[in-house]
Amino acid sequence: MSLTMMLARNLGIRQFALLRHQPWSASSAIASQLDPLQPIEEENSPYYHPDCFYPARLGEVLCGRYQLATKLGYGSGSTVWLARDLHWFCTHHLNDRTSADEFHRWPWSKERSVAVKIGSSGEYAQRKGVEAELATLKRISHAQAQHEGWHFVRKLVDSFTVESANAQHVCLVFEPLREPLFLYRRRYIGDVIPPEVLKAIVQMILRGLDYLHSECQIIHTDLKPDNIMVRFEDPTLLERDAQDEYHHPLPQKHKDGRIISLSRNNYGVFSRPSGIVQITDFDLAVSGDTARSGCISADIYRAPEAILETGYSYSADIWSLGLWDLLEGRRLFLPAIAASEEYDEQTHLAHITALLGPLPQELNGGRTAAMYYGPEGMMRDSTLVPTDFSFENTVTEIGSEEKKMFIEFAKRMITWRPEERSTAKELLSDPWLYTDFPSD
């Protein structure tokens, strides 16, 4: 580095406080108030308690850097906010090749928006989930960034803690994403993603999974359309929403000195084609380099080894891909949800048995297997096993030769024995994924 550039760099660092973006002043707009007795948003979570959720307020600046602009959503142990990064130009642009001229352009650099996930506190499993997610995200950030799947996994931008009157809260900072796949599919006719689009999305997911499995040694354990999100096709949508919330705030709930805001996250139809996806939500992820057992995944996406508790590994993620949701607009094992809308483990296993045949002997030693299966792998209550449930009659959106190819692809993922499932990398070579793309 030249002496001139070194001086310019040092001068820039000393002048940092003068150059950062300024927080917006408090909005003069007054939000209408909702019924204080009616639960909304995170209050509907069974784990919600006002003492464990951080009382975030619009316009608040966290960590001296992130100004909350609007609420994006919430989960069982967190709320998520769109925020202005007041330090963006410095952290992004400063490097050894920066010139004095470039440095002095920073004050006019376009600011960026980020998503800030504020975890709950207290002795709740959800708090541990955010802390575990932070550890996983740090592991992801130290893995091989040259892997092609790196682009399809959500990365951590920053992390910090904030204090409330009762505790500390872990905060994770990410690039904002537009919407999960379960919403994205509703952008298409019939609420299903066309096969030619789905194939491109599946390729991205598999590359992301291969990155997690082979480079990071991480099992997601909660892979489903909710946890795969589409990136923004137009970042100005974020600026629009921030401005809308500033000038025309959504109704709020005021109760016991706490304000609960409504989420603003409906971005409407896409202004131009998009579909770049990222795998998200690593609060339940675990390391794959040790033996694992126990119950994982959302009920309807759960692999048989997780139901029977025989131990699981990376292949549990392969089982959970959930292509039927996207191609057919419904879950493959939806019949496992009873009329009462409650998940039934036995019915789920009965439909897996109808699809794949008797339980293999090596899985019959699982902790819960004897509850449902006899010594020969047949279900104890055979009346639960449907006679008309097959791969063929669950696929209706594609026909003829392509249907056969898709089913062959699905059978590489949906098998009793975890070791017989193809890896993400192996699946990327399947011919069904490339029938709508010209060969090289």
Specify the pLDDT at position 348: 95
Q: How many C-beta neighbours within 10 Å does residue 64 have?
A: 10
Give the span between the Cα atoms of 56 and 258, in whole angstroms.
Answer: 9
Distance CA 151, CA 276 (A): 9
Sort 126 into a burial class: Cβ within 10 Å, 0-12 / 13-18 / 19+: buried
pLDDT in tens, the chain (440 residues): 544 445 445 545 444 444 578 899 999 999 999 999 999 999 998 888 888 899 999 999 999 999 999 999 998 889 999 999 998 765 444 444 444 343 333 444 567 899 999 998 865 545 567 888 999 999 998 887 889 999 999 999 999 999 998 788 999 999 999 999 999 999 899 999 999 999 999 999 999 999 999 999 999 999 999 999 999 999 899 999 999 999 999 999 999 999 999 999 888 888 887 779 999 999 899 999 888 988 899 889 999 999 999 999 999 999 999 799 999 999 999 877 766 678 899 999 999 999 999 999 999 988 899 999 999 999 999 999 999 999 999 999 998 899 999 999 999 999 999 999 999 999 999 999 998 765 54
Cα separation, 130 vs 10, whole angstroms: 37
Specify the pLDDT at position 17: 47
pLDDT at 49: 87
Decide the pairing of beta strands 66-75 and 78-85.
Answer: antiparallel
Q: Is 26 exposed, middle or buried (0-12, 13-18, 19+ CB in 10 A)?
A: exposed
Which among 45, 19, 6, 56 is positioned nearest to 261, based on CA atoms?
Answer: 56
Q: Which residues of 145-172 are buried (b: 16+ CB within 10 A; e: fewer)?
A: eebebbbbbbebbbbeebeeeebebbbb
pLDDT of residue 94: 46
